[in-house]
Amino acid sequence: MTYTCTDFTDSILDALNVDVPHEDSDSPSAQADLALAEIERLQKRDAQLSLLETPPASRLERVRLAAQLIRTARNHLRIADANNAADYVARALKSVEGAERHARCLETRTNPPARD
């Protein structure tokens, strides 16, 4: 029994739980692109989860994390076609973005740039 390149690609797609559209079933490069996109999505999600696991060290980091979470919630609501809820979250995001700008200004004032 031989293990072909197609078998290898199929194993990767199965491990990633990627469904290949019918039009891409005969295209190894399209299948590889699907696998790569899924791997990149998982890496991005892992990076986002690590942000949640590590407590933010500064006020600015806490506010940035809050803004990122609210942006993500707004985007998911838009995708789900829950536009009224997304609009409400967008208003909350404006408040957090204002706090983010304020925290950035405070951090800049308290941590002047190093002189050479």
Model pLDDT for residues 33-62, shown as the tens digit of each residue:
888 888 888 888 887 777 667 777 777 777
Q: Which two tokens stand for residue 6?
A: 């197609």
Q: Is the domain of 71 the same as that of 108?
A: yes
Please report, as a single letter, which amino acid is at residue 48.
Answer: Q
Q: Is the domain of 45 the same as that of 3?
A: yes
- Decide if 13 contacts 33 (C-beta within 8 A): no
Q: Is the domain of 61 the same as that of 111?
A: yes
Q: pTM of the predicted model, to two decimals?
A: 0.44
Q: What range defines the domain where residue 74 resides?
A: 56-116
Q: Is the domain of 81 the same as that of 110?
A: yes
Average pLDDT, the chain: 78
Looking from the CA of 5 toward its CB, the CA atoms found within 13 Å total: 6
Please report, as a single letter, which amino acid is at residue 27.
Answer: S
Q: Is the domain of 72 the same as that of 114?
A: yes
Q: Is the domain of 21 the same as that of 47?
A: yes
Q: Quick check: 1 pLDDT over 70? A: no
Q: Is the domain of 62 the same as that of 88?
A: yes
Residue 25's pLDDT is what?
77
- Decide if 72 contacts 44 (C-beta within 8 A): no
Gyration radius of the chain's alpha carbons: 21
Q: Is the domain of 31 the same as that of 72?
A: no
Q: Is the domain of 116 the same as that of 67?
A: yes
Tally Cβ neighbours within 10 Å of residue 74.
Answer: 19
